[in-house]
Structure 1
């Protein structure tokens, strides 16, 4: 780890610089700052990828087992999605908001142990479990983008309703586009989370006593998160709620997701993270 620690530290430094340049572009619509921010973000993605691969080689497993590894992978997913948003949608402000979350997640990983705990055995690093965690992280990435689209939707809706016209509004998609993007992200996130939970249940039934697994707080919360997002999709399909209420429900669903993500202390078998 010491040999590649400088990559991790450099990544955080460059990521911070990228977020600052995006913030400058957010305030002043500075195209030069925007180009610098995107260039730094691309370098951050490359460094994260190199660091991730080096960890994979060193540890001989897909490194998404410990909480440090999952947070780092979650940050990498958000950076990857940011690059995709820039390439396909050209919505710079949403790239900025996405990378605020990604940077915070990466900084949080600094305060966690890097080396896997002794309890992490071969059974914990099985392909089934690693696929479960990887799918969960990708679904969290999709839900993160959906949350950002909904938050921007509520902001834009309030500004338009109050007839507050600013240059910032011209840089945002329409209300219909924002709602559609949030819907698409949830359409991606829900099946991935469902698959992740199914794989987690299969793994749990294989290696854990039923009474320890079925009543675990994190299992219950994960099912609640899935139910909440599924209810959101149902309401969106039925078109029974106003779009701004759907956006608020989406924010509440993401808050529940965060509670679930950081509820490892209440779990009887996720505590090895």
Structure 2
């Protein structure tokens, strides 16, 4: 598979992704079922193109593509599309695909316009390690779960606002009820937290083996533990204190902002997460 074809495939994916998000936005504003259906199938085609791109990229590099921020962003976007399509097919929650893929499209745009030097094959090949691959893959999957949990909390706050202001309409009816939105947000965090714990354990193990003079006060290590504490606090408040409602949804949304800071900023400041810099 030549490089020109790969570039054209990626460009086509971005264009179709943008069109899908636009149609979902039209559906969100006007409750247009036809636009929703076209957007869904466009997104399914985007997923197929993303999967094809990942497959040929793996054939070209001979490894799983998560060893640089350039690769990690693409895999993150693929995870978001996969999870949103899966949940939409199983649960039929309106607007979950739209909100999730606004985030996913933003990740794709960042990936597309990332500086070329971020995609360092030389550095990546030096870092090939099964332990590292598992660590990064699990971490990104946990971020995918947290991303969808954030979207459910966002929909919860939107539904809460519509109910409080008594704005009855098609949009209110199409968003799932508050208890269902809250439950799905909780379930995704229950999945994401243990995956993040495993990712941290594997990452620390790899660092001790491969990185000389690894420090616990490294920004990425501290950031990962902050993320873990935020979501563990969410689970404690939800299960231990039996709290629920809008305040818990806002806590969950704030926790996701910490995830983004940890992914984009702390990785840059880290002394040993240099494949992300």
Smaller-chain TM-score bracket: over 0.9
TM-score (norm 1): 0.95
| 1:22 aligned partner | 24
Tell me whether 1:35 sits opposite 2:33 in the alignment. Answer: no
The alpha-carbon deviation at position 240 of structure 1 amounts to 4.7
Tell me whether 1:176 sits opposite 2:179 in the alignment. Answer: yes
Tell me whether 1:95 sits opposite 2:97 in the alignment. Answer: yes
Asked if 2 retains the 8 angstrom alpha-carbon contact of 1:82 and 1:98, the reply is yes
Measured in 2, the distance between the counterparts of 1:27 and 1:96 equals 11
Instruction: Pick from 69, 72, 76 the counterpart of residue 71 of structure 2.
Output: 69
Measured in 2, the distance between the counterparts of 1:262 and 1:53 equals 25
1:75-102 Cα offsets, whole Å, 9 max, x none, are 0000001111221111231111011011
1:148-168 Cα offsets, whole Å, 9 max, x none, are 111111121122122222321
Measured in 1, the distance between the counterparts of 2:43 and 2:69 equals 23
| 1:119 aligned partner | 123
The alpha-carbon deviation at position 119 of structure 1 amounts to 2.8
Q: Which runs of 5+ in 2 are unaligned?
A: none
The alpha-carbon deviation at position 189 of structure 1 amounts to 0.5
| 2:240 aligned partner | 238
1:214-258 Cα offsets, whole Å, 9 max, x none, are 221001100110111011101100235342111111011001110
TM-score (norm 2): 0.94
Measured in 1, the distance between the counterparts of 2:244 and 2:71 equals 39
Q: Which runs of 5+ in 1 are unaligned?
A: none
Cα RMSD between the aligned structures? 1.4
1:141-182 Cα offsets, whole Å, 9 max, x none, are 110111111111112112212222232100011110011000
